[in-house]
């Protein structure tokens, strides 16, 4: 079982927006910034969002992150077919002094 909880799947049509949630606790999301990763089939994960709401160079502004209390969210606007992928949240957990991941959300663009 993952320390962080994500819905296993989500779907939307091209052009729509979608939000992926990530729930944790006081020792992880409640105390630390959140990072998000995108994993396309058969490839290594790619850092999508760091420090809760920052986008690395090259990541489109359609992707945004936020946090409230012990929960975080990844929002994707103007969905495109190439956004179909698995999305993982991650953060640091002070109780284990290590990084923890969510179980991942498979996004389907219908």
Residues lying near another protein in the complex (CB under 8 A) are found at: 2, 32-33, 35, 37, 39, 44-47, 49-51, 56, 86, 88, 90-92, 96-104
CA 21, chain centre distance (Å): 7
Q: Residue 81 CB, nearest distance to another protein (Å)?
A: 23
Q: Residue 106 CB, nearest distance to another protein (Å)?
A: 10
- Quote the tokens at residue 34: 């959140």
Q: Residue 99 CB, nearest distance to another protein (Å)?
A: 4
Place of tokens 């409230």: 68
User: CA 101 to CA 104: how far, in whole Å?
Assistant: 8
- Quote the tokens at residue 20: 């992926």
For another protein, give the closer residue by CB, 17 or 98. Answer: 98
The residues, any chain, with a CB within 8 Å of residue 19's CB and separated by 6 or more, are 73, 74, 75, 76
Integer-rounded Cα radius of gyration of the chain? 13
Q: Residue 109 CB, nearest distance to another protein (Å)?
A: 20
């Amino acid at each position: 079982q993952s320390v962080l909880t994500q819905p296993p799947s989500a779907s939307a049509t091209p052009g729509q927006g979608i939000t992926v949630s990530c729930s944790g606790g006081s020792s992880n999301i409640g105390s630390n910034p959140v990072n998000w990763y995108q994993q396309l089939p058969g490839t290594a994960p790619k850092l999508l969002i760091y420090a809760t709401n920052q986008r690395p160079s090259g990541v489109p502004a359609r992707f945004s992150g936020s946090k409230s209390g012990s929960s975080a969210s990844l929002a994707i606007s103007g969905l495109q077919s190439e956004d179909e992928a698995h999305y993982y949240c991650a953060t640091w957990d002070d109780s284990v002094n290590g990084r923890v991941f969510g179980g991942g959300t498979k996004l389907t663009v219908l």
